Amino acid sequence: MKKKVLLMGKSGSGKTSMRSIIFANYIARDTRRLGATIDVEHSHVRFLGNLVLNLWDCGGQEAFMENYFASQRDNIFRNVEVLIYVFDVESRELEKDMHYYQSCLEAILQNSPVARVFCLIHKMDLVTEDQREIIFKEREADLKRLSMPLECTCFRTSIWDETLYRAWSSIVYMLIPNVKELENSLQQFANIVDADEVLLFERATFLVISHCQRKHHRDVHRFEKVSNIIKQFKLSCSKLAAQFQSMEVRNSAFAAYIDMFTSNTYVMVCMSDPQIPSEVTLINIRNARKHFEKLEKVSSSAPAIGHR
């Protein structure tokens, strides 16, 4: 099952850097050596078995942008499932950025009218912390108004923190078939093992694709932080020629287990009951694998779900 994803935005907005961090295991500081994208770079990212993201990273130089809307219009904008448009928050050509975005929307309406649209207000680390929310809300309001009659979902992002993982997790979540059934099964599993929370990560990217929460947690950004931390740790292991398979973190207040789950996922189980031995939780994780493997196979063979 292939899903065409367009990644667009002006040259230098950070498109290729974020793609390289999420899908090619780059760390933020290594993206400085990436060059500008020339025309369109195609990559196929296998995600959860049979779900393949057909990612079109479109170079943002003016000559290429004009070409996309003219001679390449049908080829670029036909059969698109998701448009991700990246804005550099510090761009000095905001009016031109908005013009190109509007041209994208017109082409999407003509060729892929049911595509989902996401706008990433990127490089937010360059904005002083007290101004970030104000500037993001202003841009979000402008983009939502400009996008009508299409709906657009906006995220503020930076390659230097967890916000990038939050945005891409949300985008990929909407592409996963059978996601509600997956969440129901996670809820049942969490009840059985008496977990406070269970997270499901995609194995290659470590994006959170599903979760179940049974106990309130005050940190609303914890999923993205865990994604970021564990992926960096996993990359450190690979540099030492060691393979990351599982991890247990425990203190007097909680225990957290991260383990390989299905062939395409990792699971994280958080417990606050210190009376439950580690061995019991690990056995329960092992016993649940077969059910989730079966669910994954059913999902990957299911027909695509309509957008709206």
Q: What is the pLDDT of residues 115-135, one digit of tens each?
A: 999 999 999 999 999 999 999
- The model's confidence at residue 2, banded by pLDDT at 50, 70 and 90, is confident
User: Which structure tokens are listed for 303?
Assistant: 């027909």
Most confident residue range from 3-12, 77-86, 231-240: 77-86
User: Which structure tokens are listed for 16?
Assistant: 């290729």
Phi first, then psi: give them for residue 27, nearest 5 degrees.
-100, 160
Q: State residue 85's pLDDT score.
A: 94
> In Å, how far are 54, 172, 177, 304 from 51, measured between CA atoms?
10, 10, 9, 10
Element (H, E) at 152: strand 152-156
User: What is d(CA 271, CA 193) in angstroms, rounded to the nearest whole number?
Assistant: 9
Q: State residue 221's pLDDT score.
A: 78
Q: Which residue from 116, 121, 218 is spatially nearest to 173, judged by alpha carbons?
A: 116
User: Is 90 exceeded by the pLDDT of residue 82?
Assistant: yes
> In Å, how far are 24, 69, 83 from 227, measured between CA atoms?
15, 36, 23
User: What is d(CA 268, CA 287) in angstroms, rounded to the nearest whole number?
Assistant: 15
Q: State residue 37's pLDDT score.
A: 64
DSSP 162: T
Per-residue pLDDT, averaged over 58-82, amounts to 83
Q: How crowded is residue 2: how many other Cβ atoms within 10 Å of its Cβ? A: 13
User: Which structure tokens are listed for 179?
Assistant: 């996601």
Per-residue pLDDT of 284-302, as tens digits, reads: 999 998 888 887 776 555 5
Per-residue pLDDT, averaged over 163-172, amounts to 88
User: Is 90 exceeded by the pLDDT of residue 53?
Assistant: no
User: Is 70 exceeded by the pLDDT of residue 32?
Assistant: no
Element (H, E) at 69: helix 62-69
User: What is d(CA 244, CA 21) in angstroms, rounded to the nearest whole number?
Assistant: 18
User: Which structure tokens are listed for 10?
Assistant: 């002006």
Q: State residue 39's pLDDT score.
A: 65
3-class secondary structure, 212: strand
Q: State residue 306's pLDDT score.
A: 43
Which position has the higher pLDDT, 177 or 38? 177
Which position has the higher pLDDT, 146 or 173? 146
Residue appearing with tokens 């975005």: 101
Q: State residue 275's pLDDT score.
A: 80
